[in-house]
Chains A and B, each alone.
Chain A
Amino acid sequence: MATAPVVETHPAPLAAAPAPHPKKGVLSHWRLYAAISPFYLLFLAFGLIPVGFSLYLSFHRWDGLGAMEYAGLSQYRYLLADGQFWSSIGNTVVIWALATFPMIFLAMVTAVMLNSAVRFKNVYRFAFFLPNVTSIVAVAIIFGSVFSTNFGLVNALLQAVGLDQVAWLNTPWGIKVAIATLMTWQWTGYNAIIFLAGLQTIPGELYEAARMDGAGPVQTFFRITLPLLRPVLLFVLVISTVTGLQSFSEPQVLLQTTDNNSSFAGGPGHAGQTMVLYFFQQTFDNNDFGYGAAVAWGIFLVVVLFSIVNWRLVQRRGED
């Protein structure tokens, strides 16, 4: 395809191409190639070669310093039997689900409300978007104090209404709920803005017609809003899946002090260790570059599988 002389079939007015003779071909466009080359050069050096190298690495044993040793499929065999890797997948998926479904629900409700409330819309949009622009490190530090066992705000509230305190950052479910809460807080407004943009493309006449036919707000939502919002929903779901399954900074900052040997351990019992945290632990704490590469490919596979499942789910519902 790269050698095809002319891509377009009809000679539309070429804005500024120097109208070459067909034979001069590729060379006459050298300025254009030069203009796009920085991205491709960077991609070659820090994208394509690394990806190829990480595939090569995953068939080797290497500590980053000594000689590389061919290991065949043994890294992958070890990966399949590695309980900690599997439980990191479990942790990641649980945290992702705890964060994503409430987030999408809340974002959609917020968007629908913003779409109807005309006054102060910009104030709300600004405030709801604010959590998303703040750094995860700062936010994780703040949430660490909100969920702290001894002086955290959540436990103070529980105590105030006569309930027992929860050791949020010390129990398997507490850890996951705390991380998911942080993510939901940070991403709900962002997704609400995206849903809102989608809502604004739905013509007002459709709602008018539905109202004339006597449809209530709930019926209108499920018959008009949701079907027309499906492409946007798909976009949000795919982005949330790809980023959510690769979560790293939230659990890392929140739980970094809980283990003396590794800041990537993910809290007591590794209950908050996501796939990417496990990758960092194996690679940069244990200096096991070969196994780290195998873990990275494992993560890639999980993310791709989830994306395909998401895609299918949303698409199929569209056909009903």
Chain B
Amino acid sequence: MASIKGSRKRGVALHLVLVVGLLISVFPFYWAVIMSTHASTEIFSYPPKLLPGSHFAENVRHLFDNVDFFGSMANSLLVAGTVTFLVLFFDSLAAFVFAKFRFPGRRFLFALMMAIFMVPAQLQAIPQFVIMAKLGWIGSMTALVVPAAANAFGIFWMRQYMRSAIHDELLDASKLDGAGFLRQYWHVALPVVRPGLAFLGIFTFMGQWNDYAWPLIALTDPHNVTLQVALSQLNGVHGTTDYGMVMTGALLALLPLLAVFAIGAKQIIGDLGKGAIR
């Protein structure tokens, strides 16, 4: 490929192509800003508006009148936050065991976990729904949190991380000092693998925040839903009439996630690549 000392012209052409790609990646966000700052009557006119308008406040007011935006955002925060906390704890604990200990059945249990990884969600959806209906969880956030509290991906990811990051000598030394299993986990393992936990935490939070199919089915009370489901309802009811408002909802729902991504981008992008070529 073009070496670093390649001709200047070539470098400019390269950046030109990359900038086009960058604009395509970012454009839909800009488009959402335009749509959410115009009244719906303006949106339906030709030629399309390409600059932001002045109706944002009005659209926001319509939005809050039509949907319990902060209520569903609180639900999303509750679900994503709780799941992230539980996943970080359960996955890292299990990963620590698989990475650093030998015990009967270890290989079998690990292989079983990786096989589970492959089972598609539809095969589980009906029975999950039936089981949760029996437990009385349907319609509540419990139905979202409990099945997501530990997962094969996170255990696998943290195990790979811990195998190289935690040195056996450290564990041996702590054992000589009389540390038991839990103290080794808490005081030796966790401090070393903080970057790995950061990746898993951000990844889990974003995945839960964006989750849609299962919440759509499990949250049967239309007044008590997560943000994604609320947004979809809004689009279903007003999507053909009040576009400005629906767009405002879509835009506002993106903001918390973009904030999380902006904070953790380096970690996410870097570790994602490492995970794929491992």
Contact = CB atoms under 8 A, between A and B. Distances in A.
Pair from one complex: yes
Interface of A: 1-8, 13-17, 25-26, 29, 31-33, 35-36, 38-40, 42-43, 45-51, 53-54, 57, 64, 106, 110, 112-120, 122-131, 133-139, 141-146, 150-151, 153, 156, 159-160, 185, 189-190, 193-194, 196-198, 200-201, 207, 211, 217, 220-221, 225, 231-232, 235-236, 242, 246, 248-249, 252-253, 256-257, 263, 276, 279-280, 283-284, 289, 292-293, 295-297, 299-300, 303
Q: Which 6 pairs between the two chains have the least Cβ-Cβ distance? A: A197-B273, A50-B127, A53-B127, A138-B250, A135-B210, A39-B150
Interface in B54-96: 90-91, 93-94, 96
Contact of A31 (B17, B181, B254, B273): B181
Given A142-B247, A217-B2, A54 B102 contact: no
B51 interface: no
Contacts of B97: 32, 35-36
Contact of B122 (A220, A235, A296): A296
B101 A42 contact: no
A106 to B, nearest CB: 8
B269 A125 contact: yes
Interface residues of B, number: 108
Interface string B199-223: 0000000100110110011000000
24 contacts: A3-B105, A4-B104, A13-B172, A15-B168, A25-B104, A26-B103, A46-B128, A48-B116, A51-B123, A130-B29, A133-B206, A133-B257, A133-B258, A133-B261, A138-B231, A138-B250, A139-B28, A153-B31, A160-B47, A190-B272, A249-B213, A256-B235, A284-B217, A300-B120
Decide if the interface of chain B is mainly helix, strand, loop or mixed. Answer: helix
Given A124-B22, A142-B31, A39 B276 contact: no
A114 B19 CA distance: 11
A194 B125 contact: no
B184 interface: yes
A276 B214 CA distance: 12
A200 B277 CA distance: 10
Contacts of A133: 206, 210, 257-258, 261, 268
A57 B152 contact: no
A194 B276 contact: yes
A156 B22 contact: no
Nearest to B42: A151
B126 to A, nearest CB: 5
Nearest to A29: B103
A146 B212 contact: no
A232 B276 CA distance: 7
A116 B175 contact: no
B161 interface: no
